Amino acid sequence: MENYVSANDESRERLVALVERLTDDDLALQLGDGWTVGAVLAHLAFWDLRALTLLARWSEGGVGPSPVDADAVNDAGRPLLRRIPPAAVREIVLDSARAIDAAITQLPPSLVVDIQGHATQLHLARSIHRSMHLDPIEARLAARQGA
């Protein structure tokens, strides 16, 4: 458990550092395929909140399937996520990251084992998803500064 908990902590700290320095103009930067920096951060918040919802549900009734077509959800959500005001994006992405990471550290070991058996439904290593999006955001910001 320690491995993904510490990785989550590190990625959350990286997220906090990024969000604290982003301007509203930075949040409006295009990343491709209709995504902006702000929409991608809101996307991270959405998936962390989904994970938090599943943890609450599974803590009460046991781990079970929760299938989702992630591509369809992401495509459908993109126009909505782009419309979230910058201040709200900053708040929700940090609040949701803190909440899911805290919830993961409080899971009983038996529930962790059950969740890991359903890894396609929810990944306890939230750092993987964060890094997948923080890397291109940071690269885009660096490219803009170098231009």
Judged on CB neighbours under 10 Å (0-12, 13-18, 19+), 101 is: buried
Q: pLDDT class for 68, splitting at 50, 70, 90?
A: very high
Residue in this structure with the two tokens 């890991």, named with its chain if needed: 116
Q: How confident is the model at residue 121 (pLDDT cuts 50, 70, 90)?
A: confident
Residue-level pLDDT at 147: 66
Domain total of the chain: 1
* 51 residue type, one letter: A
Predicted TM-score (pTM) of the model is 0.95
Range of the domain at 140: 2-146
Q: Give Cα separations from 114 to 18, 84, 105 (angstroms).
A: 33, 35, 15
CA pair distance 66, 119, nearest whole angstrom: 11
Instruction: Specify the CATH number for the domain of residue 41.
Output: 1.20.120.450
